[in-house]
Structure 1
Amino acid sequence: MAKLINWKRNWLNSKFELFVDGMQKGAIIFNSWKNEAESNFEHQDYTFKCVGFWRPKTNVFDKKTNELVAVISYDNWKTRAVIHLNSGEQFEWKPTNFWKSQFSVSNHIDTNIVYSPLSNTGSISSDTDNSLIIIAGLFIKQVYNKRGMTLVACFVPIMIAATSRHNH
């Protein structure tokens, strides 16, 4: 039976609140300046820490034991990521539509999680109770959103400068 989770995002503090049956069951709080986050969901607490520049990855730690429980690797085209659990299981994150607005996490066997964002809110339909995989899907989307915003922030001044020089 699918589990339905709703989220609400607060733009001011980069926090996602997670709700099950209308009751808040957790949150993900992103660091505004780094691709890092602290999360809790249904009594599971994780820390996400990004490392590397050219071949970035995210190490995921269980906050209670400080054990590395997963590593997330990314492709450079924002089309997929892979969550590698310590158990050896792998889950693929990928967009499910042309506009990359919806996405899923799946092991292509028995776990499928579908994320449907709507502006600052969204829903998650999950056939697993694995809170790490559920949270990781939202974390990956936020990492790709930040990368996209960084590219825009870098190229807009260049485009403005080039346009203004050309017009004078």
Structure 2
Amino acid sequence: MEKTVTWTKGVFDSSYQIFCNGQICGNLIFNTWNNHAVGIMSQTNYQFKCKGFTDTTVTIYGDNHVELGNIKMNVWQMRAIINLPGQIPLSWNYSNGWLSQWTISNHQETQIHYKASSGSGMVAGQNLDDELALLVGLYIREFFSRLLVAFISLVAILVILRDI
């Protein structure tokens, strides 16, 4: 049976609030200056730690700093592979040209579809009970959004400096 979850975030904020049946059921809070984040769902804490600017591998930790898996970002294709122990690897990719819809899939039973509009969105799928996969989809979206903003800012600075 397909379920639906909604989320909100501020326009210039990197903190997500996740709602299940109209009640807040989770948060994803990003560090301002790097791509580290903390996710909270069902009283379980998840930590996302990016190794560095050039190494785009993100390690996911659970309570007591137990490693739960990793995310390998492909920056040039704007895709990611999610490796969780005991599961078939999940692929994350945008599903439209406006970068407002994306999907997590293992090309078998797991299909999670995300849709975003300014500051809010919806998640639909049959496997929404996998709260880590739900958080990972939002984490990767924010990772690529930050990368896109940094790229646009760099281009703008270079254009301004060229004119000086």
- Pair in the same fold by TM > 0.5: yes
- 8 Å CA contact 2:11, 2:118 repeated in 1: no
- Cα deviation, 1:70-95, whole Å, max 9, x if unaligned, reads 10001122431010012252100000
Kindly report which structure 2 residues correspond to 1:117-136, keeping only aligned pairs within 5 A, or say none: 117-128=116-127, 129-136=129-136
- Residues 148 and 78 of structure 1, relative CA distance in 2, 3 Å threshold: farther
Kindly report which structure 2 residues correspond to 1:74-153, keeping only aligned pairs within 5 A, or say none: 74-128=73-127, 129-153=129-153
1:26 aligned onto 2:60: no
- 8 Å CA contact 1:92, 1:105 repeated in 2: yes
Higher gyration radius (CA): 1
Kindly report which structure 2 residues correspond to 1:40-59, keeping only aligned pairs within 5 A, or say none: 40-59=40-59
1:66 match:
65
In structure 1, list runs of 5 or more residues that go unmatched. none
SS at match of 2:59: strand
SS at match of 1:65: helix
2:155 match:
155
CA distance in 2, matches of 1:83, 1:145: 18
Shift of 1:55: 3.5
- Cα deviation, 1:15-44, whole Å, max 9, x if unaligned, reads 100001100001000111100100111233
The Cα RMSD (Å) is 1.4
* More deviation, 10-19/105-114: 10-19
In structure 2, list runs of 5 or more residues that go unmatched. none
CA distance in 2, matches of 1:78, 1:53: 17
- 8 Å CA contact 1:9, 1:16 repeated in 2: yes
SS at match of 2:68: strand
Q: Which amino acid aligns with 2:72?
A: S
- 8 Å CA contact 2:8, 2:17 repeated in 1: yes
CA distance in 1, matches of 2:77, 2:150: 13
SS at match of 2:65: coil
- 8 Å CA contact 1:112, 1:127 repeated in 2: yes
Percent identity over the alignment is: 27
Alignment coverage as a number of residue pairs: 163
CA distance in 2, matches of 1:133, 1:56: 18
Shift of 1:101: 1.6
CA distance in 2, matches of 1:140, 1:81: 8
